[in-house]
Amino acid sequence: MSALSLFPHAPDDVVAQLGAEPVALPRQADVVVIGGGIMGAASAYYLAGAGLSTTLIERDKVSSQQSGRNWGFVRTQYRDPFELPLAIEALSIWPELEQELGQAIGWRRTGCIFVAETDAELQSFAHWHEVTRDIAVDARMLSGPELAGLMPSLRGQAPGALHTPSDGQAEPALATTAFARAAMRRGVRVLDDCGALAIETSAGRVSGVLTEHGLIRCGTVVCAAGLQSHRLLAPLGLALPQQSVRSTVSLTAPLPPLSEACFCGFGIGLRQRADGSCIIAADSSSDIDLSLDSFRASRFFLPGLLRYRSGFAFRLGRPLLDDLHERLSVPKRERPVARRRPRIAANEARAAKTGESVRQLFTGADGIEIVKSWAGQIDVMPDALPVLDSPSEIAGLIVATGFSGHGFGLGPAVGRHVASLASGAGPAAILAPLRFDRFARGTYSRPHAPL
């Protein structure tokens, strides 16, 4: 069975084995990147390309968390207008990455289509299209008959759709590990099972990263630590209003052609892979596992929760007990490395419901078989936009986090901008809406779409 055929996903079956030999903890580096997801791996690759000695540390394994658990969409379509320029930049990079990185990543330019279930939803797509037409030049609106001609497998009628033929897809774990391996070939030291305990500072600037295995001295730190970012930044006096939601995803056995384009509509998301298997998930429906930490920064999230309340299910169970145990038994300084490989339970009922929705929605999906399901913890921000910035409070600190469930496709562009910031360039104009201080200043907006 080929690597792209029912490729085992990192959360349960496979972790990245990047090198046969163990890597010693260096005493010093120009830059330390915290986090082995696609943001961290891409950043390390481009930092090394800029001539900076770089070490990447990951408390688990590279690609083992959300960067290996997501849908694999690479889209510009229906992005928040503030995020769209970064997505367009990233899309310009993806087609050449397999050749550049020297590894198959499953890239295919298959397009992306969002099908409207109601006239109101179609009007929302049309408004986005009108607002962004000068930059999202490949996006187009489809009428009901045009949609039926493009997607003959779609049962029933819909008023129309938004379609971007130039968007694409890639395999999340393959792409993330490809960046990490290419970074290693450029001289980056990649240390997994090496969690960050603290970002060290001296006289208002970064001086090193204290890991569970020792201190690495450096002048620049890239915090791309996903859900752990707020914990690492808080001791520096930087409050990051970051929370998490749990998203369940499933992989099907191969099916007849359903949708060439990455598909969202009628409550589901679907990506049909080259072998016919499909990645499926409930669109804009997530679980919130309540814990004591759930109430941190709640004032930032309450308006969005109320606005999109039908898209969230609150769960009370093991995460609350784990949180209580951690607070009572784990020193605060060690919490960033606690519960390093959690068993993130898939919502099996939601997975089954999604599979049934696919069966009803597409001709040819009658024999759908779910091979496996998994879940990931998505770090979210109140406005569903990431933070990509070098906060002025701490010289030498770069933050790239909070991608709110739609960051995978942005990875290559994020890596380039991180390398530019680390090399001393000022932030590009397109990063202005992604500043760290927008929450303290009250300049953030409400989410463009459900989290």
Q: Please check whether residue 383 lies inside any domain of the structure.
A: yes
Q: Please check whether residue 284 lies inside any domain of the structure.
A: yes
Each residue's pLDDT tens digit, 264-321: 999 999 999 999 999 999 987 767 666 656 666 666 656 666 665 566 566 666 665 6
Q: Please check whether residue 305 lies inside any domain of the structure.
A: yes
Of the candidates 302, 243, 286, the residue with the CA atom closest to the CA atom of residue 446: 302
Q: Please check whether residue 135 lies inside any domain of the structure.
A: no
Max Cα–Cα distance, the chain, nearest Å: 65
Q: Please check whether residue 117 lies inside any domain of the structure.
A: no
Residue 293 makes CB contacts below 8 A (sequence gap 6+) with 323
Q: Please check whether residue 155 lies inside any domain of the structure.
A: no
Residue 219 makes CB contacts below 8 A (sequence gap 6+) with 30, 31, 205, 206, 207, 396
Task: Give the rounded distance of the alpha carbon of 137 from its chain centre.
Answer: 24
Ordered per-residue pLDDT tens for the chain, 451 residues: 233 333 444 444 434 446 556 778 999 999 999 999 999 999 999 999 999 999 999 999 999 889 999 999 999 999 999 999 999 999 999 999 999 999 999 999 999 999 999 999 999 999 999 999 999 999 999 999 999 999 999 998 899 999 999 999 999 999 999 999 999 999 999 999 999 999 999 999 999 999 999 999 999 999 999 999 999 999 999 999 998 888 999 999 999 999 999 999 999 999 999 999 999 999 877 676 666 566 666 666 566 666 655 665 666 666 656 666 676 777 777 777 766 666 788 999 999 999 999 999 999 999 999 999 999 889 999 999 999 999 999 999 999 999 999 999 999 999 999 999 999 999 999 999 999 999 999 998 888 875 4
Domain of 103 in residue numbering reads as 31-111+166-441
Q: Please check whether residue 16 lies inside any domain of the structure.
A: no
CATH number for the domain spanning 79: value is 3.50.50.60
Q: How many CB atoms lie within 10 A of CB 122?
A: 22
Report d(CA 324, CA 293) in Å as an integer.
Answer: 10
Q: What is the pTM of this model?
A: 0.89
Total domains in the fold of the chain = 1
Of the candidates 103, 105, 93, the residue with the CA atom closest to the CA atom of residue 46: 93
Q: Please check whether residue 245 lies inside any domain of the structure.
A: yes
Report d(CA 145, CA 148) in Å as an integer.
Answer: 5
For position 77, what pLDDT does the model report? 97
Report d(CA 219, CA 205) in Å as an integer.
Answer: 8
Contact 55, 31 (CB under 8 A): yes
Residue 57 makes CB contacts below 8 A (sequence gap 6+) with 32, 33, 34, 36, 191, 192, 194, 195, 196, 209, 211, 216
Task: Give the rounded distance of the alpha carbon of 155 from its chain centre.
Answer: 31
The b/e string for 200-230 (b: 16+ C-beta within 10 A; e otherwise) is bbeeeebebbebbeebbebbbbbbbbbbbbb
Report d(CA 420, CA 52) in Å as an integer.
Answer: 11
Report d(CA 429, CA 259) in Å as an integer.
Answer: 36
